[in-house]
Chains A and B, each alone.
Chain A
Amino acid sequence: MKFIPDKDILLFKSCLVNVEYPGIESSTCYIFDRIDVDYYVDERQSCCTGLGHYYDLFDQISTTALAARNFHIAVETGHKNIAVMCATCYAILKKSAKILNQNEEARNKVNEILDDSNLEKREYTQGDMDPAQNIFHVAEIFFNKREEISSQVKVDLTGLRVATHHACHYCKVHYNDTIEGVRDPNLIDKLAEAVGVETIGWYDHKRVTCGAGFRQRFTNKEASLAVTAGKLQALKENKVDLLLHMCPNCQMQFDRYQPYIEEKLDTEFNIFHLNISQFIALAFGADPYKILGIQTHTVPIEPLLKKLNYSLESNQKVDVKAKKSIN
Protein backbone atom coordinates (compact mmCIF):
# COMPACT_ATOMS: atom_id res chain seq x y z
CA MET A 1 0.00 0.00 0.00
CA LYS A 2 1.44 3.34 -0.96
CA PHE A 3 1.91 6.18 1.48
CA ILE A 4 -0.88 8.74 1.41
CA PRO A 5 -0.38 12.02 3.22
CA ASP A 6 -2.86 13.97 5.33
CA LYS A 7 -0.92 17.18 5.64
CA ASP A 8 1.05 19.67 3.56
CA ILE A 9 -1.61 19.29 0.91
CA LEU A 10 -2.28 21.71 -1.91
CA LEU A 11 -5.90 21.24 -2.92
CA PHE A 12 -5.57 21.67 -6.66
CA LYS A 13 -8.31 23.71 -8.29
CA SER A 14 -9.92 22.22 -11.36
CA CYS A 15 -11.51 24.20 -14.18
CA LEU A 16 -14.58 22.01 -14.41
CA VAL A 17 -15.08 21.90 -10.67
CA ASN A 18 -14.73 25.69 -10.68
CA VAL A 19 -17.49 26.42 -13.10
CA GLU A 20 -19.59 23.29 -13.44
CA TYR A 21 -19.76 21.63 -10.04
CA PRO A 22 -18.15 23.99 -7.52
CA GLY A 23 -19.97 21.95 -4.87
CA ILE A 24 -17.29 19.30 -5.30
CA GLU A 25 -14.73 21.74 -3.94
CA SER A 26 -16.87 22.98 -1.06
CA SER A 27 -17.78 19.39 -0.19
CA THR A 28 -14.14 18.32 -0.26
CA CYS A 29 -13.16 21.17 2.06
CA TYR A 30 -16.11 20.35 4.28
CA ILE A 31 -14.89 16.75 4.62
CA PHE A 32 -11.21 17.63 4.98
CA ASP A 33 -12.07 19.99 7.84
CA ARG A 34 -13.82 17.18 9.63
CA ILE A 35 -11.31 14.39 9.17
CA ASP A 36 -8.23 16.31 10.09
CA VAL A 37 -6.66 16.85 6.73
CA ASP A 38 -4.41 19.86 6.55
CA TYR A 39 -4.80 21.51 3.14
CA TYR A 40 -4.37 24.79 1.39
CA VAL A 41 -5.75 26.41 -1.77
CA ASP A 42 -3.63 28.85 -3.74
CA GLU A 43 -5.39 31.39 -5.93
CA ARG A 44 -2.31 31.73 -8.13
CA GLN A 45 -2.43 28.13 -9.23
CA SER A 46 -3.36 27.85 -12.89
CA CYS A 47 -5.47 25.18 -14.42
CA CYS A 48 -3.64 22.02 -15.54
CA THR A 49 -4.53 22.54 -19.26
CA GLY A 50 -6.15 19.11 -19.22
CA LEU A 51 -9.06 19.74 -21.55
CA GLY A 52 -6.89 21.74 -23.93
CA HIS A 53 -4.27 19.07 -23.74
CA TYR A 54 -6.63 16.32 -24.77
CA TYR A 55 -8.25 18.54 -27.37
CA ASP A 56 -4.67 18.33 -28.75
CA LEU A 57 -4.66 22.12 -28.66
CA PHE A 58 -1.87 22.33 -26.13
CA ASP A 59 1.54 20.97 -26.87
CA GLN A 60 3.29 18.87 -24.24
CA ILE A 61 5.97 21.45 -23.48
CA SER A 62 3.45 24.20 -22.68
CA THR A 63 1.48 21.87 -20.44
CA THR A 64 4.66 20.80 -18.71
CA ALA A 65 5.89 24.36 -18.24
CA LEU A 66 2.63 25.35 -16.58
CA ALA A 67 2.84 22.23 -14.41
CA ALA A 68 6.35 23.24 -13.37
CA ARG A 69 4.97 26.62 -12.32
CA ASN A 70 2.21 25.00 -10.28
CA PHE A 71 4.66 22.54 -8.74
CA HIS A 72 6.78 25.44 -7.69
CA ILE A 73 3.82 27.12 -6.01
CA ALA A 74 3.15 23.88 -4.12
CA VAL A 75 6.74 23.48 -2.99
CA GLU A 76 7.24 27.17 -2.23
CA THR A 77 4.25 27.32 0.07
CA GLY A 78 5.23 24.13 1.87
CA HIS A 79 2.37 22.12 0.38
CA LYS A 80 4.25 19.66 -1.68
CA ASN A 81 1.49 17.06 -1.68
CA ILE A 82 -0.97 17.82 -4.40
CA ALA A 83 -4.53 16.52 -4.12
CA VAL A 84 -6.76 16.82 -7.16
CA MET A 85 -10.51 16.65 -7.55
CA CYS A 86 -10.36 15.94 -11.24
CA ALA A 87 -8.90 12.82 -12.85
CA THR A 88 -7.62 14.80 -15.81
CA CYS A 89 -5.56 17.01 -13.50
CA TYR A 90 -4.30 13.82 -11.88
CA ALA A 91 -3.01 12.28 -15.10
CA ILE A 92 -1.72 15.53 -16.56
CA LEU A 93 0.26 16.48 -13.45
CA LYS A 94 1.76 13.00 -13.10
CA LYS A 95 2.73 12.92 -16.73
CA SER A 96 4.34 16.35 -16.43
CA ALA A 97 6.24 15.39 -13.29
CA LYS A 98 7.50 12.24 -15.00
CA ILE A 99 8.70 14.21 -18.01
CA LEU A 100 10.35 16.82 -15.80
CA ASN A 101 12.17 14.14 -13.84
CA GLN A 102 13.09 11.74 -16.62
CA ASN A 103 13.61 13.86 -19.70
CA GLU A 104 16.54 16.19 -19.28
CA GLU A 105 16.06 17.89 -22.61
CA ALA A 106 12.45 18.71 -21.81
CA ARG A 107 13.38 19.90 -18.33
CA ASN A 108 15.99 22.26 -19.72
CA LYS A 109 13.52 23.53 -22.27
CA VAL A 110 10.92 24.18 -19.57
CA ASN A 111 13.46 26.00 -17.42
CA GLU A 112 14.47 28.08 -20.41
CA ILE A 113 10.85 29.08 -20.91
CA LEU A 114 10.57 30.01 -17.23
CA ASP A 115 13.79 32.03 -17.45
CA ASP A 116 12.55 33.84 -20.54
CA SER A 117 9.40 34.69 -18.64
CA ASN A 118 11.44 36.18 -15.78
CA LEU A 119 10.41 33.31 -13.58
CA GLU A 120 13.87 31.99 -12.77
CA LYS A 121 12.69 31.40 -9.24
CA ARG A 122 10.17 28.87 -10.50
CA GLU A 123 12.75 26.75 -12.26
CA TYR A 124 12.28 23.03 -11.85
CA THR A 125 15.00 20.86 -10.32
CA GLN A 126 14.91 17.15 -10.99
CA GLY A 127 13.00 15.40 -8.22
CA ASP A 128 11.12 18.48 -6.97
CA MET A 129 7.88 16.64 -7.50
CA ASP A 130 7.65 12.87 -7.19
CA PRO A 131 4.78 11.73 -9.40
CA ALA A 132 4.05 8.68 -7.24
CA GLN A 133 4.72 10.13 -3.80
CA ASN A 134 3.37 13.66 -4.11
CA ILE A 135 0.39 13.61 -6.45
CA PHE A 136 -2.92 12.16 -5.28
CA HIS A 137 -6.58 12.14 -6.00
CA VAL A 138 -8.75 13.49 -3.19
CA ALA A 139 -10.47 10.11 -3.11
CA GLU A 140 -7.17 8.52 -2.09
CA ILE A 141 -6.81 10.96 0.78
CA PHE A 142 -10.34 9.99 1.84
CA PHE A 143 -9.49 6.32 1.49
CA ASN A 144 -6.58 6.72 3.83
CA LYS A 145 -8.92 8.30 6.37
CA ARG A 146 -11.91 6.05 5.87
CA GLU A 147 -12.16 5.24 9.54
CA GLU A 148 -12.48 8.92 10.44
CA ILE A 149 -15.02 9.22 7.64
CA SER A 150 -17.08 6.37 9.07
CA SER A 151 -17.09 7.98 12.47
CA GLN A 152 -18.53 11.25 11.10
CA VAL A 153 -21.54 9.79 9.31
CA LYS A 154 -24.77 11.42 10.43
CA VAL A 155 -27.20 10.58 7.66
CA ASP A 156 -28.34 7.10 6.77
CA LEU A 157 -27.88 6.64 3.03
CA THR A 158 -28.63 2.95 2.89
CA GLY A 159 -31.55 1.78 0.86
CA LEU A 160 -30.20 3.24 -2.36
CA ARG A 161 -28.82 1.11 -5.17
CA VAL A 162 -25.48 2.72 -5.73
CA ALA A 163 -22.91 2.09 -8.45
CA THR A 164 -19.62 3.76 -9.16
CA HIS A 165 -17.96 5.23 -12.20
CA HIS A 166 -14.21 5.38 -11.78
CA ALA A 167 -12.51 8.00 -13.84
CA CYS A 168 -10.31 6.59 -16.61
CA HIS A 169 -7.58 9.11 -16.06
CA TYR A 170 -7.30 8.08 -12.45
CA CYS A 171 -7.28 4.32 -13.09
CA LYS A 172 -5.79 3.64 -16.45
CA VAL A 173 -3.07 6.17 -17.25
CA HIS A 174 -0.59 5.72 -14.41
CA TYR A 175 -1.99 2.36 -13.40
CA ASN A 176 0.98 1.41 -11.26
CA ASP A 177 -0.01 4.16 -8.82
CA THR A 178 -3.71 3.33 -8.79
CA ILE A 179 -5.08 1.91 -5.56
CA GLU A 180 -8.01 -0.45 -5.06
CA GLY A 181 -8.07 -1.88 -8.55
CA VAL A 182 -7.44 -0.93 -12.15
CA ARG A 183 -9.29 -3.63 -14.05
CA ASP A 184 -12.07 -3.72 -11.49
CA PRO A 185 -11.74 -0.34 -9.80
CA ASN A 186 -13.19 -0.21 -6.32
CA LEU A 187 -11.78 2.91 -4.73
CA ILE A 188 -15.05 4.79 -4.52
CA ASP A 189 -16.98 1.62 -3.81
CA LYS A 190 -14.83 1.33 -0.70
CA LEU A 191 -15.52 4.97 0.18
CA ALA A 192 -19.25 4.40 -0.16
CA GLU A 193 -18.79 1.42 2.13
CA ALA A 194 -17.08 3.72 4.63
CA VAL A 195 -20.27 5.77 4.89
CA GLY A 196 -22.29 2.59 5.31
CA VAL A 197 -23.47 2.05 1.75
CA GLU A 198 -22.94 -1.23 -0.04
CA THR A 199 -22.54 -0.63 -3.79
CA ILE A 200 -23.53 -3.08 -6.48
CA GLY A 201 -19.84 -3.67 -7.23
CA TRP A 202 -19.08 -5.02 -10.69
CA TYR A 203 -21.45 -4.42 -13.60
CA ASP A 204 -20.99 -4.76 -17.32
CA HIS A 205 -19.29 -1.59 -18.61
CA LYS A 206 -17.96 -0.72 -15.17
CA ARG A 207 -14.55 0.05 -16.67
CA VAL A 208 -15.93 1.83 -19.71
CA THR A 209 -15.19 5.51 -20.16
CA CYS A 210 -17.93 8.11 -19.55
CA GLY A 211 -17.91 8.85 -23.25
CA ALA A 212 -16.87 12.50 -23.05
CA GLY A 213 -13.68 11.68 -24.92
CA PHE A 214 -12.73 15.37 -24.74
CA ARG A 215 -13.19 16.36 -28.38
CA GLN A 216 -15.67 13.55 -29.05
CA ARG A 217 -18.43 15.18 -27.03
CA PHE A 218 -18.36 18.11 -29.43
CA THR A 219 -17.12 16.80 -32.74
CA ASN A 220 -18.47 13.28 -32.59
CA LYS A 221 -21.48 13.72 -30.41
CA GLU A 222 -23.30 10.61 -31.51
CA ALA A 223 -20.43 8.27 -30.76
CA SER A 224 -19.74 10.07 -27.53
CA LEU A 225 -23.28 9.82 -26.26
CA ALA A 226 -23.63 6.25 -27.50
CA VAL A 227 -20.88 5.27 -25.08
CA THR A 228 -22.59 7.14 -22.26
CA ALA A 229 -25.93 5.60 -23.17
CA GLY A 230 -24.41 2.12 -23.16
CA LYS A 231 -23.22 2.63 -19.66
CA LEU A 232 -26.50 4.14 -18.49
CA GLN A 233 -28.31 1.21 -20.02
CA ALA A 234 -26.16 -1.25 -18.11
CA LEU A 235 -26.81 0.71 -14.91
CA LYS A 236 -30.51 0.72 -15.56
CA GLU A 237 -30.46 -3.04 -16.03
CA ASN A 238 -28.88 -3.18 -12.61
CA LYS A 239 -31.64 -0.91 -11.24
CA VAL A 240 -29.19 1.66 -10.04
CA ASP A 241 -30.49 4.82 -8.32
CA LEU A 242 -27.28 6.71 -7.89
CA LEU A 243 -24.00 6.76 -9.75
CA LEU A 244 -20.97 8.04 -7.87
CA HIS A 245 -18.24 9.95 -9.68
CA MET A 246 -14.72 11.09 -9.00
CA CYS A 247 -14.18 13.48 -11.89
CA PRO A 248 -16.18 16.56 -12.90
CA ASN A 249 -15.76 15.78 -16.58
CA CYS A 250 -17.42 12.36 -16.26
CA GLN A 251 -20.05 13.88 -14.02
CA MET A 252 -20.86 16.47 -16.68
CA GLN A 253 -21.17 13.82 -19.33
CA PHE A 254 -23.70 11.89 -17.30
CA ASP A 255 -25.50 14.64 -15.44
CA ARG A 256 -25.76 17.17 -18.23
CA TYR A 257 -26.57 14.70 -20.98
CA GLN A 258 -28.67 12.05 -19.29
CA PRO A 259 -31.93 13.91 -19.93
CA TYR A 260 -30.86 14.51 -23.53
CA ILE A 261 -30.09 10.82 -24.05
CA GLU A 262 -33.34 9.85 -22.37
CA GLU A 263 -35.20 11.98 -24.84
CA LYS A 264 -33.25 10.71 -27.84
CA LEU A 265 -33.71 7.08 -26.88
CA ASP A 266 -37.17 7.63 -25.56
CA THR A 267 -36.36 5.95 -22.33
CA GLU A 268 -35.88 6.87 -18.70
CA PHE A 269 -32.83 6.11 -16.66
CA ASN A 270 -33.73 7.98 -13.49
CA ILE A 271 -30.19 7.83 -12.20
CA PHE A 272 -28.81 10.51 -9.90
CA HIS A 273 -25.24 11.64 -10.16
CA LEU A 274 -23.05 12.78 -7.31
CA ASN A 275 -19.36 13.19 -6.86
CA ILE A 276 -17.89 11.06 -4.10
CA SER A 277 -17.07 14.24 -2.14
CA GLN A 278 -20.68 15.39 -2.40
CA PHE A 279 -21.83 11.93 -1.36
CA ILE A 280 -19.64 11.82 1.72
CA ALA A 281 -20.53 15.41 2.64
CA LEU A 282 -24.19 14.41 2.32
CA ALA A 283 -23.56 11.53 4.70
CA PHE A 284 -21.95 14.01 7.07
CA GLY A 285 -25.16 16.05 7.00
CA ALA A 286 -23.88 18.95 4.91
CA ASP A 287 -26.31 21.45 3.41
CA PRO A 288 -27.29 20.44 -0.13
CA TYR A 289 -27.17 24.00 -1.45
CA LYS A 290 -24.54 25.64 0.70
CA ILE A 291 -22.06 22.77 0.60
CA LEU A 292 -23.01 20.11 -1.95
CA GLY A 293 -23.98 22.71 -4.50
CA ILE A 294 -26.73 20.60 -6.03
CA GLN A 295 -28.16 23.71 -7.64
CA THR A 296 -25.63 23.33 -10.45
CA HIS A 297 -26.78 19.83 -11.34
CA THR A 298 -28.90 19.13 -14.37
CA VAL A 299 -30.48 15.94 -13.09
CA PRO A 300 -32.16 17.32 -9.97
CA ILE A 301 -30.95 15.87 -6.71
CA GLU A 302 -33.98 17.02 -4.72
CA PRO A 303 -36.01 13.86 -5.39
CA LEU A 304 -33.11 11.83 -4.07
CA LEU A 305 -33.02 13.95 -0.94
CA LYS A 306 -36.74 13.58 -0.51
CA LYS A 307 -36.36 9.84 -0.77
CA LEU A 308 -33.89 10.14 2.07
CA ASN A 309 -36.23 12.41 4.06
CA TYR A 310 -33.68 15.17 3.89
CA SER A 311 -35.03 18.59 4.84
CA LEU A 312 -34.72 21.15 2.08
CA GLU A 313 -34.80 24.73 3.24
CA SER A 314 -32.64 26.66 0.85
CA ASN A 315 -34.19 29.08 -1.50
CA GLN A 316 -32.12 29.24 -4.64
CA LYS A 317 -32.13 31.87 -7.32
CA VAL A 318 -30.33 29.75 -9.89
CA ASP A 319 -31.69 26.49 -11.14
CA VAL A 320 -29.79 24.52 -13.72
CA LYS A 321 -32.25 21.68 -13.76
CA ALA A 322 -33.20 20.30 -17.10
CA LYS A 323 -36.67 21.48 -17.81
CA LYS A 324 -37.31 18.37 -19.84
CA SER A 325 -36.73 15.77 -17.24
CA ILE A 326 -39.45 15.90 -14.68
CA ASN A 327 -38.68 13.46 -11.94
Chain B
Amino acid sequence: MKTIKLKKESVQLVKDVLKDIKASPDLGIYKCVQCGMCTSVCPGARQTEYDPRDMIRRVLEDDETVIDDDNIWNCFSCYTCNSVCPSGNNASEINQILRQMSIDKGEGMKKIVSFAAYGDSFMELGVGSIPNNFFDVMVKDVGPGYMDLKINIEDIRADLGLGSYILPENAIDEVESILDNSGFKDRLEKIKRCK
Protein backbone atom coordinates (compact mmCIF):
# COMPACT_ATOMS: atom_id res chain seq x y z
CA MET B 1 0.00 0.00 0.00
CA LYS B 2 1.16 3.46 -0.80
CA THR B 3 0.99 6.05 1.95
CA ILE B 4 1.01 9.75 1.45
CA LYS B 5 3.02 10.65 4.50
CA LEU B 6 2.00 13.48 6.74
CA LYS B 7 5.53 14.73 6.76
CA LYS B 8 5.71 16.22 3.32
CA GLU B 9 8.31 14.97 0.98
CA SER B 10 8.78 17.86 -1.37
CA VAL B 11 7.10 17.25 -4.71
CA GLN B 12 9.98 18.01 -7.00
CA LEU B 13 9.41 16.47 -10.41
CA VAL B 14 6.55 18.70 -11.50
CA LYS B 15 8.46 21.75 -10.35
CA ASP B 16 11.50 20.70 -12.36
CA VAL B 17 9.31 20.13 -15.38
CA LEU B 18 7.82 23.59 -15.08
CA LYS B 19 11.25 25.15 -14.67
CA ASP B 20 12.56 23.57 -17.85
CA ILE B 21 13.37 25.93 -20.69
CA LYS B 22 10.98 24.02 -22.93
CA ALA B 23 8.05 24.57 -20.58
CA SER B 24 5.71 27.26 -21.92
CA PRO B 25 4.92 29.90 -19.32
CA ASP B 26 1.24 28.91 -19.38
CA LEU B 27 1.78 25.13 -19.23
CA GLY B 28 -1.27 23.91 -17.31
CA ILE B 29 -0.02 20.65 -15.82
CA TYR B 30 -1.46 21.40 -12.38
CA LYS B 31 -4.88 21.87 -13.93
CA CYS B 32 -4.97 18.39 -15.47
CA VAL B 33 -8.21 16.60 -14.54
CA GLN B 34 -7.05 13.21 -15.81
CA CYS B 35 -9.85 13.11 -18.34
CA GLY B 36 -7.86 11.07 -20.83
CA MET B 37 -8.83 13.18 -23.81
CA CYS B 38 -5.15 13.39 -24.71
CA THR B 39 -4.84 9.62 -24.68
CA SER B 40 -8.00 9.23 -26.72
CA VAL B 41 -6.45 11.08 -29.65
CA CYS B 42 -2.88 9.89 -29.17
CA PRO B 43 -1.35 7.79 -31.95
CA GLY B 44 1.32 6.63 -29.51
CA ALA B 45 -1.36 5.32 -27.17
CA ARG B 46 -3.20 3.62 -29.98
CA GLN B 47 -0.12 1.78 -31.22
CA THR B 48 1.89 1.18 -28.05
CA GLU B 49 1.67 0.98 -24.27
CA TYR B 50 2.32 4.70 -23.95
CA ASP B 51 -0.36 6.73 -22.13
CA PRO B 52 0.12 10.50 -21.98
CA ARG B 53 -2.55 10.96 -19.30
CA ASP B 54 -0.84 8.45 -17.09
CA MET B 55 2.51 10.09 -17.78
CA ILE B 56 1.05 13.37 -16.52
CA ARG B 57 -0.36 11.65 -13.44
CA ARG B 58 3.04 10.20 -12.61
CA VAL B 59 4.70 13.58 -12.97
CA LEU B 60 2.11 15.13 -10.68
CA GLU B 61 2.59 12.33 -8.18
CA ASP B 62 6.33 12.84 -8.23
CA ASP B 63 6.97 9.38 -9.62
CA GLU B 64 10.46 9.80 -11.01
CA THR B 65 10.46 6.36 -12.59
CA VAL B 66 8.42 7.88 -15.39
CA ILE B 67 11.68 9.35 -16.69
CA ASP B 68 13.11 5.87 -17.12
CA ASP B 69 9.95 4.42 -18.58
CA ASP B 70 10.64 3.23 -22.11
CA ASN B 71 7.11 4.21 -23.10
CA ILE B 72 7.86 7.91 -23.12
CA TRP B 73 9.92 7.26 -26.25
CA ASN B 74 6.74 6.26 -28.09
CA CYS B 75 5.36 9.77 -28.38
CA PHE B 76 5.08 11.04 -31.96
CA SER B 77 5.45 14.70 -30.96
CA CYS B 78 2.31 15.30 -32.97
CA TYR B 79 0.81 17.71 -30.41
CA THR B 80 -2.69 16.36 -30.98
CA CYS B 81 -3.01 16.12 -27.21
CA ASN B 82 -2.00 19.76 -26.91
CA SER B 83 -4.63 20.85 -29.40
CA VAL B 84 -7.51 19.32 -27.45
CA CYS B 85 -6.57 19.27 -23.77
CA PRO B 86 -9.46 21.07 -22.08
CA SER B 87 -7.29 22.05 -19.14
CA GLY B 88 -4.55 23.94 -20.93
CA ASN B 89 -2.02 21.19 -20.42
CA ASN B 90 0.45 20.01 -23.04
CA ALA B 91 1.45 16.36 -22.75
CA SER B 92 3.67 16.61 -25.79
CA GLU B 93 5.80 19.33 -24.27
CA ILE B 94 6.03 17.47 -20.98
CA ASN B 95 7.07 14.33 -22.81
CA GLN B 96 9.92 16.20 -24.49
CA ILE B 97 11.05 17.58 -21.14
CA LEU B 98 11.04 14.12 -19.57
CA ARG B 99 13.09 12.78 -22.47
CA GLN B 100 15.67 15.50 -21.96
CA MET B 101 15.77 14.58 -18.27
CA SER B 102 16.39 11.00 -19.26
CA ILE B 103 19.16 12.09 -21.63
CA ASP B 104 20.70 14.23 -18.90
CA LYS B 105 20.68 11.20 -16.63
CA GLY B 106 22.53 9.26 -19.34
CA GLU B 107 19.96 6.52 -19.90
CA GLY B 108 18.19 8.41 -22.63
CA MET B 109 21.36 8.81 -24.68
CA LYS B 110 21.05 5.22 -25.79
CA LYS B 111 17.70 6.11 -27.23
CA ILE B 112 19.04 8.81 -29.48
CA VAL B 113 22.50 7.66 -30.40
CA SER B 114 21.27 6.36 -33.73
CA PHE B 115 20.37 9.90 -34.71
CA ALA B 116 23.80 11.33 -34.02
CA ALA B 117 24.64 11.55 -37.71
CA TYR B 118 22.07 14.29 -38.01
CA GLY B 119 24.20 16.42 -35.71
CA ASP B 120 27.35 15.73 -37.71
CA SER B 121 25.67 16.72 -40.93
CA PHE B 122 24.37 19.85 -39.30
CA MET B 123 27.77 20.96 -38.19
CA GLU B 124 29.35 20.10 -41.50
CA LEU B 125 26.78 21.60 -43.85
CA GLY B 126 24.61 23.85 -41.73
CA VAL B 127 21.64 21.74 -42.68
CA GLY B 128 20.34 18.55 -41.23
CA SER B 129 18.50 15.77 -42.95
CA ILE B 130 17.63 12.13 -42.56
CA PRO B 131 20.68 10.68 -40.79
CA ASN B 132 22.70 8.85 -43.40
CA ASN B 133 22.89 5.66 -41.38
CA PHE B 134 19.23 5.16 -42.23
CA PHE B 135 19.84 5.41 -45.97
CA ASP B 136 20.34 1.73 -46.44
CA VAL B 137 17.07 0.83 -44.86
CA MET B 138 15.32 3.60 -46.70
CA VAL B 139 16.69 2.45 -50.00
CA LYS B 140 15.52 -1.02 -49.13
CA ASP B 141 12.03 0.19 -48.19
CA VAL B 142 11.59 2.86 -50.81
CA GLY B 143 13.55 1.48 -53.69
CA PRO B 144 16.90 2.12 -55.38
CA GLY B 145 15.59 5.32 -56.87
CA TYR B 146 16.00 6.81 -53.43
CA MET B 147 19.76 6.39 -53.63
CA ASP B 148 19.75 7.97 -57.10
CA LEU B 149 17.96 10.93 -55.62
CA LYS B 150 20.57 11.35 -52.94
CA ILE B 151 23.36 11.18 -55.48
CA ASN B 152 21.81 13.51 -58.02
CA ILE B 153 20.11 15.98 -55.74
CA GLU B 154 22.24 18.97 -56.70
CA ASP B 155 21.60 18.34 -60.43
CA ILE B 156 17.90 18.00 -59.83
CA ARG B 157 17.95 21.24 -57.91
CA ALA B 158 19.79 22.91 -60.77
CA ASP B 159 17.12 21.64 -63.19
CA LEU B 160 14.54 23.26 -60.96
CA GLY B 161 16.44 26.51 -61.00
CA LEU B 162 17.56 26.15 -57.39
CA GLY B 163 21.07 26.72 -56.06
CA SER B 164 23.09 24.43 -53.83
CA TYR B 165 21.44 23.59 -50.55
CA ILE B 166 24.73 23.63 -48.68
CA LEU B 167 25.55 26.81 -46.83
CA PRO B 168 28.53 28.96 -47.88
CA GLU B 169 31.76 28.38 -45.98
CA ASN B 170 31.58 31.34 -43.61
CA ALA B 171 27.96 30.60 -42.75
CA ILE B 172 28.90 27.05 -41.83
CA ASP B 173 31.64 28.45 -39.63
CA GLU B 174 29.12 30.60 -37.81
CA VAL B 175 26.82 27.65 -37.25
CA GLU B 176 29.63 25.43 -36.07
CA SER B 177 30.91 28.05 -33.72
CA ILE B 178 27.46 28.55 -32.22
CA LEU B 179 27.02 24.83 -31.74
CA ASP B 180 30.43 24.64 -30.13
CA ASN B 181 29.70 27.43 -27.69
CA SER B 182 26.18 26.25 -26.94
CA GLY B 183 27.61 22.95 -25.72
CA PHE B 184 25.98 20.98 -28.52
CA LYS B 185 29.29 19.69 -29.82
CA ASP B 186 30.17 18.21 -26.45
CA ARG B 187 26.69 16.84 -26.05
CA LEU B 188 26.94 15.14 -29.42
CA GLU B 189 30.30 13.61 -28.57
CA LYS B 190 28.91 12.30 -25.31
CA ILE B 191 25.95 10.78 -27.09
CA LYS B 192 28.16 9.15 -29.66
CA ARG B 193 30.27 7.56 -26.95
CA CYS B 194 27.16 5.78 -25.81
CA LYS B 195 27.32 3.34 -28.69
In the bound complex, residues from chain A placing their C-beta under 8 Å from that of B108 are 56
Known: A43-B163, A291-B160. A319 touches B76 (CB 8 A): no
- Tell whether A214 is near chain B: CB-to-CB under 8 Å: yes
Q: Are A117 and B178 in contact (CB under 8 A)?
A: yes
Q: Which residues of A contact B33 (CB under 8 A)?
A: none
Assess the B111–A318 pair: CB atoms within 8 A.
no
B156 CB, nearest partner CB in chain A, Å: 6
Task: Please judge, given known A-B contacts A26-B162, A317-B152, A318-B148, whether A66 and B175 are in contact too, CB under 8 Å.
Answer: yes
- With beta carbons under 8 angstroms apart, the residue of B126, B142, B150, B153 that contacts A46 is B126
0/1 string, A291-327, CB within 8 A of B gives 1: 1010110100000000000000000011111111000
Establish whether residues A289 and B122, one from each chain, have CB atoms under 8 Å apart when the complex forms.
no
Which residues of chain A come closer than 8 Å to B153, judged between CB atoms? 18-19, 22
SS class of chain B's interface: helix, strand, loop or mixed? helix
**A218 with B134: CB separation less than 8 A:** yes
Query: Is A119 a contact of B177 with CB atoms below 8 Å?
Result: yes
Nearest Cβ in chain B — how far from A227, in angstroms?
5
Cβ contact within 8 Å between A223 and B171: no
Q: Decide if B181 touches A58 in the complex (CB within 8 Å).
A: no
Is there contact, CB below 8 Å, between B25 and A102?
yes
Q: Would you call B127 and A213 a contact (CB within 8 A)?
A: no
The size class of the interface chain B forms with chain A is 35 or more
Is residue A173 contacting chain B, with contact meaning CB distance below 8 A?
yes
Stretch at the interface among B1-9, B40-48, B58-66: B40-48
Q: Which of A72-118 contact B (CB under 8 A)?
A: 91, 98-99, 102-103, 106, 113-114, 116-118
Q: How far is the CB of A135 from chain B (nearest CB, A)?
A: 16
Which residue in chain A gives the minimum CB-CB distance to B21?
A: A60
Is A39 close to B, CB under 8 A?
Answer: no
Q: State whether A116 touches B181 (Cβ < 8 A).
A: yes
List 5 A-B pairs, Cβ < 8 Å.
Answer: A43-B167, A51-B118, A52-B115, A61-B182, A62-B184
A-B contacts besides A50-B128, A173-B79, 13 pairs, CB < 8 Å: A15-B127, A18-B129, A57-B115, A69-B175, A102-B25, A117-B174, A119-B177, A211-B43, A213-B75, A215-B73, A218-B115, A224-B76, A320-B149
